[in-house]
Structures are given as C-alpha cells and as structure tokens.
Amino acid sequence: MPMRLASVCAALLGLASCDIAKITVNTTSKVLLRAQPSLKMEADYELARQAIPGTLKTVEGFWIVDPENPRLIKILTEGFCQYGSGFVEDDWEAAKFAKDIDAVEYHNERSTKIFTRCLNYALANLGERWRTEIFGSPEVVAKLLADTSVYCRFSLLFASLALGSLVNHNLTRVEMLGNLPTVEAMLMRVLEMDAERPPEDKAHAALPHIALGMLYTGRAKALGGDPDRGRKHFEEAIKLTDGKYLLPRVLMAYRVGKANNDRTFFYEQLKIVLETAPNVWPEQRLANEVAHRKARRYLKYGKDIFE
C-alpha cells in the first residue's frame, strides 16, 4: 500500500511540473490546423470578414501561451496575410476607386499593420538569421536565400508576400522601395523550390506566380514595369489551378489590361471570371468570391481605369 501511494504521489508531482496550458494548446493547435480549410470554403464574404479577426485573435492568444508552437505560427502567418489581401486591401482598393482620401489613408495604415504581423510570424518560422539579414545587401540576401532549405518554402512564400504588400502600401517611403529586389529574389527562390519539390496545394503553387505577376505590372513601362512578363506569370497561375482559381485571372484582366491600355482583353477576361461560378473549386470558394467582388468593381469603374 505505501509503495502504491508513493507511485500516485510521484505521478501527481510529475503532472504538476508540466504546463497544462501548453499541453492543451498543443492538442488544440492540431485541431485548428485540420479545421483551417473550412474558412477557405466559406461562401459568405461578409460572414468571413466578421469571423476572421476574432479567430485570429483567439489563435494569437494560444500562441502567447505557446510561442514556439509551429502549427500556431503557420496558421497566424497565412491567416494574417490572407485577411490582409482578401479584406483589408479590398477596402483600400474600394476607397481608391471612390477617391475617398481619408479612407485610403486609414486602410493603408491598417494594411501595413496586418502585413507586418504576417511578416513577423513568417520570420519567426524562418529563424533568427532571417530576422537580422532580410534587409541586408543584395549579396547578403542572396546567400541567405541559397542557404534556405526547400522545407522552409511555406514561410518563405508568405514572408515574400507580406514584404511585397508592405512595399505596396508604403510607396512614399524610399527605403521601402529598396526592398522590391529582395521580394523578387525571394519569390524566385520559391519557384526554384517548387521545381525541386512541387507543392501538393495547387493554390499555394499559384501564389508565387500571382505575386510576380503583380510585381511586374505594379509599375508603368516607363518606370520599369513589364506587363508581358507579368501576364506570363498570371497565366501560369491559371494553368496550375486548371482555371478554377479566379484571382489570377481577375488580377491579370485589371493590371495587364490597364498597363497595355487593352480594353478588349480587360473585358474579355472579366467576363470569363463572372461566368465561372465561385463554387467551381469548393476548397477555394472564399478566394473565388473575392475574385467576383473585384471583377464587379473593375467593371463598374472601367471608364475611370481607361480614362
């Protein structure tokens, strides 16, 4: 009996020495990661808009308890980047078309904060060296990229997306514009990784091409833009997703059409988007709803775009 009592006491002491909160968060993080696709399948844009911030803050609370949990960092990395591009930037773009200067400034600031979070979480997974060298010289960044394993592809992709978006929302800051070559180099490294180890997720395979398409069409030809090169990347993203991912097509219609002053291309591509049901790819229903939303906006302001 005394030995049995001693064993029970030892077990209780061992349990007490463990962090129960971390054990609970670790178990919860596995469920959260498996449940993540449900949001991408959401058909109601407004429901998603209202649900995502609370969800992200809840996950961030778990992360405070267990800041080294890689599953939580992954969810937060992708979550903040997708919330920024799908919702905050959508408000910013709508304000730009409406020529509401105060709203543009407000959503610009919000976008900067959201994409900074995405970048910080991505860098947390990439490691201390990335946090200190990402803003280094081209030679330092090139060495950093060469030393980055193919297994860091997810974090590298979202770090590049976040940094590119930060540049886009801080175009008046000369020091931010200097990061564009770094963004391009990061995306090119992601494509090298994809050639070596193709991603299973077709949407994730398309993302670096969408980002490069936006990068090359983000400036006028006179300022170094290359809409033809951008179009090739958009078309590759469309090809990789069998035409079911509507975001690359709607972005191509707007950005390439505007850069080349090609109204016919602009309207033809948007017509394809709106004639394709968002549920053509159930696993990316929310992204396709965003694409439809953009397509309708671009058509509404077509005259302003080609003025």
| pLDDT tens profile 268-300 | 999 999 999 999 999 999 999 999 999 999 999
3-class SS at 99? coil
Cα angle: 108, vertex 211, 109; to 5 degrees: 10
Please check whether residue 7 lies inside any domain of the structure: no
Hunting for tokens 């950005």 — which residue is that?
A: 255
Select from 183, 198, 213 the last residue of a domain.
198
Please check whether residue 3 lies inside any domain of the structure: no
Please check whether residue 16 lies inside any domain of the structure: no
* Pair 193, 205 in one domain: no
What's the CA gap between 56 and 78, in Å, rounded? 10
* Pair 188, 224 in one domain: no
- Asked whether residue 34 carries a pLDDT value surpassing 90, the answer given is no
What's the CA gap between 44 and 191, in Å, rounded? 32
What's the CA gap between 262 and 216, in Å, rounded? 17
Please check whether residue 111 lies inside any domain of the structure: yes
Q: For residues 281 and 74, is the Cβ–Cβ distance under 8 A?
A: no
DSSP state of 179: T
* Pair 115, 142 in one domain: yes
Please check whether residue 59 lies inside any domain of the structure: yes
* Pair 182, 108 in one domain: yes
Please check whether residue 194 lies inside any domain of the structure: yes
What angle in degrees, to the nearest 10, is found between the helix axes of 20-35 and 45-65? Answer: 150
Select from 148, 177, 198 the last residue of a domain.
198
* Pair 186, 71 in one domain: yes
Give me the pLDDT at residue 220, please: 75
CATH of the domain at 100: 1.25.40.920
> Which of 287, 302, 299, 258 has the alpha carbon at shortest distance from 90?
287
Long-range interactions of 191-200: CB distance < 8 A, separation 24+:
193/150, 193/153, 193/156, 194/153, 196/150, 197/150, 197/153, 199/153
* Pair 216, 69 in one domain: no
* Pair 152, 252 in one domain: no
Give me the pLDDT at residue 9, please: 41
pLDDT bracket for residue 102 (50, 70, 90): very high
Q: Which pTM does this prediction carry?
A: 0.90
3-class SS at 64? helix
pLDDT tens, 173-225? 888 999 999 999 999 999 999 999 999 999 999 999 999 999 999 887 776 78
The CA radius of gyration of the chain, in Å to the nearest whole number, is 22
* Pair 53, 193 in one domain: yes
What's the CA gap between 233 and 7, in Å, rounded? 64
Amino acid at 28: T
Q: What is the residue range of 93's domain? A: 39-198
Give me the number of domains the chain comprises. Answer: 2
Please check whether residue 190 lies inside any domain of the structure: yes
